[in-house]
Amino acid sequence: MADPIVIIDYDAGNLRSVQRACAEVGARALISNDPARVRAASRIIFPGVGAAGSAMASLRRNGLADALRSAVDDGKPVLGICLGLQISLRHSEESDTETLGLIPGETHRFRLDRPELKIPHMGWNEVRPVRPHPLLDGIEPGDEFYFVHAYYPAPEDQACVYARTTYEDDFAAAVGRGNYFGVQFHPEKSGRVGLRLLDRFTRWDGQC
């Protein structure tokens, strides 16, 4: 049987739903806050909900920030989800937080002009691939994923943006570089289209 996926536990919630979604696509997933397990994992899911400042404090306190960077440097396939994507960039406006720096760029707070649009952006929204990636194979026009967030990723290099979504303005909904891929939406809460993405991740070799 294949090695289990490691889901990083850094006190940022939503872990069990990710684990259950992995089980639905036939993948074993282990929740762990052990840096050694993260370094030894064959592939990693880096989920999360919550605040950037407290998330980074937990990652540093438990040695998980360095373990995750090492895993990325070693070529392990990594999937960031929501907060996991946001803190994979270099800096977050949330609490003016220095983050992991896996991808150059910043995470910004929504600033909306239309009063009918609320923060956080919550609910189903269309995701539009803008360049091919193995994890986005099969996404069709009109396919929607579930979002819950007040901040959004803004990579410096637009070649890192693989899909976009509109909430008043366009923003990056999927960001990747090499063996790292992150999504602002929650695939584990996105029904069949989300499960298909997770299934593709369980078989992805980390190559674009």
Note down the domain range covering 48: 5-203
The secondary structure element, H or E, covering residue 7 is strand 5-8
Which parts of 63-104 are beta strand (E)?
Answer: 78-81, 91-92, 97-98
Q: What residues does 124 pair with on adjacent strands?
A: 146
In a domain, 208, yes or no: no
pLDDT in the model for residue 191: 97
By the 8 A CB rule, do 52 and 87 touch?
Answer: yes
43, 69, 71, 151, 183 from 27: Cα distances, Å: 11, 24, 20, 30, 19
Kindly give the confidence (pLDDT) of every residue in the chain, 208 residues in length, as a single tens digit, with 9 standing for 90 and above: 467 899 999 988 789 999 999 999 999 999 999 999 999 999 999 999 999 999 999 999 999 999 999 999 999 999 999 999 999 999 999 999 999 999 999 999 999 999 999 999 999 999 999 999 999 999 999 999 999 999 999 999 999 999 999 999 999 999 999 999 999 999 999 999 999 999 999 999 999 8
pLDDT in the model for residue 1: 43
By the 8 A CB rule, do 121 and 167 touch?
Answer: yes
Residue 125: what are its φ and ψ, rounded to 5°? -150, 145
Q: How many domains does the chain contain in total?
A: 1
Amino acid at 202: T
Active site residue ranges:
82, 186, 188
In a domain, 91, yes or no: yes
CATH code of the domain covering residue 96:
3.40.50.880
In a domain, 144, yes or no: yes
